[in-house]
Structure 1
Amino acid sequence: MLQLENVHHIAIICSDYAVSKKFYTEVLGFRVLGEYYRAERRSYKLDLALGDHYTIELFSFPDPPQRVSRPEARGLRHLAFTVRNIDSAVAELTAHNVVTEPIRVDEYTGKRFTFFSDPDGLPLELYEQ
Structure 2
Amino acid sequence: MSNQGFVMSHRELKLYQTAFESAMRVFEVAQALPAKERPLLGDQIIRSSRSVCANLAEAWQKRRYKGAFVAKLNEVEAEAAETQTWLEFAIVCDYLDAEVGQELFGKYTEIIAGAARLIDHADAWVTS
TM-score over 0.5 (shorter chain): no
Structure with larger RCO (C-alpha < 8 A, sep 6+): 2
User: Which structure has greater helix proportion?
Assistant: 2
Q: Which has the higher strand share?
A: 1
TM norm structure 2: 0.31
Alignment TM-score, normalising by the size of structure 1: 0.31
